[in-house]
Amino acid sequence: MKWAVAGKNDLTILIDFIIEKEWEHTFFTHHLIDKGTFILPSKTKFPILILKEKNRIKAACMISYWGGIFPVFKSIDLPDEKQLNSLTSWLNKNLKRIYSIMGTEDRVQLISNALNKENGNIVQFNLMRREHEHIKQLKPQIKDLKIIKATPDDAAVLLGLELDYQREEVFLDPSTIKNTQIYHNLRTTLNEQEIFYVTSGLTPIAKAGTNAIGHKWNQIGGVYTDKKYRNIGLSTWLMEYILDYLEKDGKKTVLFVKVNNKAAEKVYYKLGFENKKKFNIVYYT
């Protein structure tokens, strides 16, 4: 078996492979769907490498144009050493740089070891899946609270909150943040995802929404509350609203949270989420 870039004839078996445990890799599924229809994403933006055996797929890797690697395979049927060497050879030959690997801990570890790169920074998360309903929380006692569904035109309004989130939760080195790039990325996110924010008067003070919209699962991310408004139930209240909105069509919800973020994890437990797997992102400098 050799790795090959997936073509249109592979789409059906690729879908079968991916949606079996979609909650583990909703980002991957997100890029296989366009307006509710399964598609193969552009090979220039998100080529998908597959390891095919007869008429089934054993493993798949989505590669992003910025150098992100998103591996999917089953822990009981791992690629062998020869197959991993073939994959890393393709990656080193076709990517200008490898920026990150993202996925469940076992997948990231396997690909990272195969690449044999020594300068990776590992960020560890708990992958949480919503398992049950919860007792509704009271609305926080703040004057003029309002939840708004964001549009791309809200990018300027939300930029300050987004920059704070990126500094605190995303960038390993906040000094490298470029405001204009964050603004353009935010507009794209607001156009492609379901994002909501809370205002007190005219000031945005919290935000959250999807960062991947899959077939039967939505993945929530970008959850952030202004430091001055924490520990009063604001995130819980906003998340309840979002979950009601997202799950009305029968979809389920997954998210990942940093292993040391006990405050956020406590909120998610209240909302019916449970830890299911370890989830890692390795960043290469």
Give pLDDT, residue 84. Answer: 95
Give the mean pLDDT of 87-93: 94
The CATH number of residue 50's host domain is 3.40.630
Asked if 81 and 184 sit in the same domain, the reply is no
* Residue 238 belongs to a domain: yes
Q: Assign 15 a pLDDT band (cuts: 50, 70, 90).
A: very high
Kindly state whether residues 114 and 33 are assigned to the same domain: yes
54 and 178 co-located in one domain: no
Round to whole Å and give the CA distance between 33 and 233.
34
* Residue count (the chain): 285
pLDDT surpasses 90 at 142: no
CB 64 within 8 A of CB 70: yes
Query: What's the whole-number average pLDDT of the chain?
Result: 94
Same domain? For 100 and 41 the reply is yes
* 243-285: pLDDT as tens digits: 999 999 899 999 999 999 999 999 999 999 999 999 999 999 8
Q: Write down the pLDDT at residue 47.
A: 96
For residues 151 and 268, membership in a common domain is answered with yes
Same domain, 8 and 85: yes
Q: What is the pLDDT of residue 210?
A: 98
138 or 160, which is more confident? 160
Query: Is position 129 within any domain?
Result: no
Q: How far is CA 112 from the centre of its chain?
A: 19
Q: Which comes out higher in pLDDT, residue 141 or 31?
A: 31
By DSSP bridging, strand 48-53 and strand 37-38 are: unpaired
| Domain match, 162 and 107 both | no
143-156 residue pLDDT tens: 889 999 999 999 99
Contact assessment for residue 163 and residue 155, using Cβ atoms and an 8 Å cutoff: no
Q: What is the CA radius of gyration of the chain?
A: 19
Q: Is residue 127 part of a domain?
A: no
What's the number of domains the chain is made of?
A: 2
Domain-located, residue 227: yes
Same domain, 91 and 172: no
Closest CA to 38 of 14, 68, 55, 70: 14
Cα–Cα dist 128/144, whole Å: 32
Judged against a pLDDT cut of 90, whether residue 41 lies above it is answered with yes
pLDDT value, residue 75: 82
Is 138 within a domain? no
134 within domain boundaries = no
The predicted pLDDT at position 136 comes to: 80
Give percent of the chain with pLDDT exceeding 90: 87
Do 205 and 258 have their domain in common?
yes
CA geometry: angle at 276 spanning 271 and 280, to 5°?
A: 110
Domain boundary among 72, 102, 118: 118
Convert the pLDDT of each residue in 154-180 to its tens digit: 999 999 999 999 999 999 899 999 999
From 118, 133, 154, give the residue that closes a domain: 118
Q: What pLDDT, on the 0 to 100 scale, is given for residue 278?
A: 97
271 located within any domain: yes
The answer as to whether 125 is a domain residue is no
Same-domain pairing of 190 and 149 = yes
Mean pLDDT of 125-148: 88
Nearest to 50 by CA among 98, 106, 99, 9: 9
CATH of the domain at 209: 3.40.630.30
Residue 21 structural domain: 3-118
Domain edge (last residue) among 102, 118, 134: 118
Q: What pLDDT is attached to residue 113?
A: 94
Domain shared by 168 and 92, yes or no: no
- Taking the alpha carbons at both ends of the chain, their separation in whole angstroms is 32
The rounded distance, in Å, linking the Cα atoms of 238 and 248 is 16
pLDDT, average across residues 38-61: 93
Instruction: Check whether 111 has a pLDDT greater than 80.
Output: yes
State percent of the chain over pLDDT 70.
100
**Residue appearing with tokens 């970008």:** 222
pLDDT at site 285: 82
- Looking at residues 2-14, what average pLDDT do you find? 94
Based on the domain organization, do 275 and 151 belong to the same domain?
A: yes
